């Protein structure tokens, strides 16, 4: 049975490449481009879901993740 998960990806430049992070499961991957980092993260998540036990998924999964911008004034 196929199951679809809607997860978050945070992608940022690191050196000459990009790092992609799924904060709900704290799983990361990387790539030379945004597209490659995203694709590699999807692959890492698929492998996790295929190999992890249901209890490990429940243990790691954070149900609520909020991504927002902050304004910080200094000085």
Residues 16-52: tens digit of each pLDDT: 999 999 999 999 999 999 999 999 999 999 999 999 9
With residue 56 as reference, give the H or E element that holds it.
Answer: helix 54-60
**Residue 60's pLDDT is what?**
94
Is the pTM above the cut of 0.85? yes
Domain containing 63 equals 1-75
Q: What is the mean pLDDT of residues 52-60?
A: 94
Burial tier of 53 (Cβ tally within 10 Å: 0-12, 13-18, 19+): exposed
CATH code, 42: 3.30.160.250
User: How many domains, the chain?
Assistant: 1
């Amino acid at each position: 049975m196929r199951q679809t998960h809607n997860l978050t990806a945070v992608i940022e430049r690191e050196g000459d490449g990009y790092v992609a992070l799924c904060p709900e499961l704290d799983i990361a991957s990387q790539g030379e481009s945004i597209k490659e980092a995203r694709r590699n993260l999807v692959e890492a998540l698929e492998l996790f879901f295929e190999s992890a036990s249901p209890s490990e998924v429940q243990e790691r999964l954070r149900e609520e993740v909020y991504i927002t911008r902050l304004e910080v004034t200094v000085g």
